[in-house]
């Protein structure tokens, strides 16, 4: 995977935890148990996709701009997008997409819980 910074970047965000969902062979990044991003592995245990949640309009825009952004693998195609890990999406664009995915899930939590997470 060309995005070797991804794990450290996501875990540096407040309230983020990760686990490995063996039956899917995915490493999931979550806030309070709600997934906002995942690294998906192929049958040879090589990372092949990064799947993340985006606003539907933003997802459509990213798919139209980058051929390596595709509808979410095994996810709701309207809200989830997958990025090929060996593709050409620039690092700064992927960081922006990850930040937006994090913000969507954080924003779905109660205001009280958001304040607790952000003050940790």
The one-digit pLDDT tens for each residue of the chain (120 residues) are 789 999 999 999 999 999 999 998 999 999 999 999 999 988 887 878 999 999 999 999 999 999 999 998 778 788 999 999 998 999 999 999 999 999 999 999 999 999 999 998
Half-sphere exposure of 69 (CA within 13 A, CB side): 22
E strand or H helix at 52: strand 47-53
């Amino acid at each position: 995977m060309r995005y070797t910074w991804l794990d450290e970047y996501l875990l540096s965000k407040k309230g983020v935890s990760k686990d490995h969902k063996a039956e899917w062979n995915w490493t999931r990044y979550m806030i309070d148990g709600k997934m906002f991003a995942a690294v998906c592995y192929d049958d040879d245990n090589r990372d092949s996709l990064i799947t993340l949640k985006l606003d539907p309009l933003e997802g459509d825009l990213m798919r139209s701009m980058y051929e390596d952004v595709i509808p979410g693998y095994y996810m709701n195609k309207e809200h989830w997008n997958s990025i090929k890990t060996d593709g050409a999406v620039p690092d700064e664009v992927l960081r922006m997409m990850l930040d937006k995915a994090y913000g969507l899930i954080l924003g779905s939590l109660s205001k009280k819980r958001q304040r607790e997470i952000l003050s940790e």
